[in-house]
Structure 1
Amino acid sequence: MYLHIYYKVIKMATFSQVLTVQGKSDYVVSIPSDLRKCFFIYAICVLSDDHILITDNNNKRVKQLNHQYKVVGHCDLTTYPTDMCCITPSEIAIIGNDYRTHDVQFVTSGTALYKYSMTGDLLNKLYEDTSGDYTVWKCAANPSGDKIFVTNWSHNKVLTLAIDGAVLHTFTDTDLVCPFGIHVTDQGQVLVCGQSSNTILQLDGEGKKKLATLLTERDGLNAPHSVCCNRSTASIIVGQYIGNQILVFKEK
C-alpha cells in the first residue's frame, strides 16, 4: 500500500484525545450488478470531497459512496482488493491479491513490510516476522510520517515501527483479538479493529497503551475488518467481514 507521507505540526494533546460515539446507522452497500454477496469490506477511505470509497473484496470492486452513504459508482478490478489508501486528493492506491499474484506499492506480504517508491521501485524491506502466517497484516502511518503502525493478526499485537523499520513499541490487550484493520486520524489518533474480539480500540499516538475500547459487539460489531474516521462529518465508519452493510457511528 502506498503511504502518502506528509509533515505538519500537531500538538501532542490531540494524540490522547479520546473519541466517543453516540448512535449508529447501517447502510447497505450491495448493488444489483454484484455477482456475489457483498463480503469482506477490507478497507475504507474518505476522499477530499468527502465521498467515501470501500473495497468489496468478494466482488473484486471498489465502490464509491456519496454523502448519504449510497453507492453512486464502482470500479471493477481483476483481483481481490485487500487494502487501499489515498495518495493524492484524486488518486488512490490499491493492494490486490488473487492468491497467485500480489500487486503492491508500499507493501505487506503477510510476514514482511516493504517500502516502494511512488514509481513502483523496491527500496528496501523495513520489517519481517516469519513466526506466523499473518504477522504483518495491515499498516498505517502517523501524520508526521515518523511512525508506522502494523497489525500482527497471528499474535494479537500492534507494532509501532520507526520509519526505518525498527520496533519502537509492542501493544497487546485482552480486548484486542486478531487485530485487522488500522487507521490513524489526521489528529494522530490510532484506531484498530479486533476481528475476533468484535472490538475497535483507540491507542495513544505512540501505540503504547489503550485509551479506550470504543466499540464492541453490543454496538453491532461482527468481525470488524476496517475503520475510518471522517473528520468533516464527525463520524466513524466500520466495515465488517460478513454482511452487505457498513456501520456509521456519530462522534459526540
Structure 2
Amino acid sequence: MIEQMCGNLNTYIDECDNNSVGTSGGNEQYLKKEMCRSVLSIVNEFDNITAKELNEMKDEVISIKESITSSIHKCTSLHNDLSHFHEFVQKIGDNKELCLIASIKCKHIIQQALTLLGKSSKVFNVQSITKHNVRIPSDKGVCYIGGICVLPDGQVLVVDLNNQNVKLLNQQYQVVSHWDVNAWPVDICLITPSEVAVAVNDHESKIHEVQFITVNQGKLVPGRKFQLQHDCTGIDHHQGVLFVISSEELYKYTLNGKQVCSLYRSLEYTVDKCAVSPTGDRLYIISWNQDKLLTLARDGQVLVCGYWPPTVLHVGWEGESKLATLATQEDGVLGPSSVCFSSTTSSIIVGQLRDDILVFRVSMSNVIELTWQRHQSDPQEPQYRKTLPLS
C-alpha cells in the first residue's frame, strides 16, 4: 500500500511539473493547491485502508486470544479431572476389575485429553494389497529385502542382502537402477531427500561400514563411507545422528563416522534392527531370536514384521500394545524381513525373503491408547524400557 501511495504521489507530481511549464503565477498557485488536495486525498485514503486492516488484525488477534484462553481452560479442567482419575487409580492398586470400571467411566475424559493434545493413535486399515517383482537379470539368487527406504518423491530404495545390491524403484515399484555392494547390505535409512545411508556388513571378512548413496536423475551414485569397529545389522537416522545396531549393542554416531556413545547393550539376547520416531525421542529395537520389541524413550507409530508366523503388526506408540494385525500369510505375506511406511502414497511396503515386495494401500482411523504410567527419559541415556512379545 505504501509503494502504491508513493507511486500515485510521484505520478501526480510529474503531471504538475509538466503542466506548470509556461504557466502564469495565478495558474501555478492553483496547481499547487490542487496538488495539496490530491496528496491529502491519497494520504487520507491510505489512512482509511490502514485503519481497516489494523481493525481486522485486531479482531483476529482477539479471536485467537479467546481461542487460546478457551483451550487453557479446557486443559486446566481436563488436568484436574485426570489428576483425580490418576489418584483414584493409584488407590485402586492391582485391582483389575476396578481399573476397568474406572477406565470405562473416564473414557470420554481421556478421549478429550488425547484429542486436545494430539495424542490419539491412528490404526492402519488395509484397503488393497499388490505384489511387485524386484528381481533383476543379474541377480544370482532369490531376493532377500533386508531394508526399505522411501524418498519424499515416492521413489523406493531396497537393499537385497542375498544378491548384494541396492535397488532403486520408481513410483510404480519397478527397478530402474541398481548398485552392487562389496558385502552384505543389511539395512538402509534416509539422510536427505536424495541421500541414503546403507549398513554394509560381512562378519567373516570383517567388513563393517556405512555407505552413503545419492539418487540423481534416476541413478544411484555412491558417495563417502566410513568404517566401523563392530558388526552393523541395523541403521536409522534423525537430524544428523545415526543409530547403528551391532549384534548386541545400539550405538550413536555422527554423519562423519565419529562414535558418540553406546546407548544400549543387551546381555540377554541379540538386537537386530532399530528405528527412531519422527520426533527423535523414542527408539525401537527388534530382537529376532527372542521375538521382542524393545522400546527406549517416547512417541511414534511403529510397524513390525514377524518372520514366523509371517505377520505385519501395527504397534502402539508406547510400544506395549498391538493395535492391529495388518497382514498374515493368508494375505500373501511370506518371510517378511523389512517394513516401511510411505506417507507420500499412504502405503506400507513389506520386503520379503523372496523376489516380490508387497504394497498395502492404507487409510487410518483414530483409537484410544490407555497408559497408566509414563516416565520421562532422554534418548541420550535411555532409561525407560518396555518390551512387547511379538509372537
Give the one of 246, 249, 253 matched to 1:116.
Answer: 253
Which residue in the other structure is 1:193 paired with?
305
Please list, as runs of the form range in 1=range in 2, the aligned pairs for 1:86-101 lying within 5 A after superposition: 86-99=190-203, 100-101=206-207
- Whole-angstrom distance in 2 between the partners of 1:154 and 1:56: 21
Tell me, what secondary structure is at the counterpart of 2:280? coil
Which residue in the other structure is 1:141 paired with?
276
Please list, as runs of the form range in 1=range in 2, the aligned pairs for 1:195-214 lying within 5 A after superposition: 195-214=307-326
Give the one of 330, 354, 378 matched to 1:218.
Answer: 330
State the one-letter code of the partner of 2:361. Answer: K
Is the Cα–Cα contact under 8 Å of residues 38 and 56 in structure 1 kept in the other structure? no
Structure 2: gaps (5+ residues): 1-116, 211-241, 364-391
Superposition deviation, residue 64 in structure 1 = 0.4
Which residue in the other structure is 1:25 paired with?
130
- Whole-angstrom distance in 2 between the partners of 1:72 and 1:11: 40
Superposition deviation, residue 117 in structure 1 = 1.1
Q: Does 1:11 align with 2:118?
A: yes
RMSD: 1.6
Which residue in the other structure is 1:251 paired with?
362
State the one-letter code of the partner of 1:142. Answer: S
- Whole-angstrom distance in 1 between the partners of 2:126 and 2:143: 25
Superposition deviation, residue 48 in structure 1 = 1.8
Larger fraction in helix: 2
State the one-letter code of the partner of 1:92. Answer: V
Superposition deviation, residue 157 in structure 1 = 0.9
Is the Cα–Cα contact under 8 Å of residues 283 and 295 in structure 2 kept in the other structure? yes
Higher relative contact order (CA 8 A, sep 6+): 1
State the one-letter code of the partner of 1:232. Answer: T
Larger fraction in strand: 1
Give the one of 89, 98, 102 matched to 2:208.
Answer: 102
Name the TM-score, length of structure 2 as normaliser. Answer: 0.53
- Whole-angstrom distance in 1 between the partners of 2:335 and 2:310: 5
Tell me, what secondary structure is at the counterpart of 1:233? coil
What is the CA deviation profile of residues 184-231 of structure 1, one whole-angstrom value per residue up to 9, with x for unaligned ones?
9xxx32100111121011111121211111111111111211111112
Larger Rg: 2
- Whole-angstrom distance in 1 between the partners of 2:162 and 2:287: 23
Superposition deviation, residue 85 in structure 1 = 0.3
Give the one of 147, 156, 178 matched to 1:74.
Answer: 178
Structure 1 runs, 4 residues or longer, greater than 4 Å off: none
State the one-letter code of the partner of 2:339. Answer: V
Which residue in the other structure is 1:7 paired with?
none
Tell me, what secondary structure is at the counterpart of 2:123? coil
- Whole-angstrom distance in 2 between the partners of 1:38 and 1:249: 22
Is the Cα–Cα contact under 8 Å of residues 37 and 244 in structure 1 kept in the other structure? no
What is the CA deviation profile of residues 116-147 of structure 1, one whole-angstrom value per residue up to 9, with x for unaligned ones?
11110011111111323xx2110111111111
Name the TM-score, length of structure 1 as normaliser. Answer: 0.81
Give the one of 141, 149, 165 matched to 1:61.
Answer: 165
Which residue in the other structure is 1:228 paired with?
340
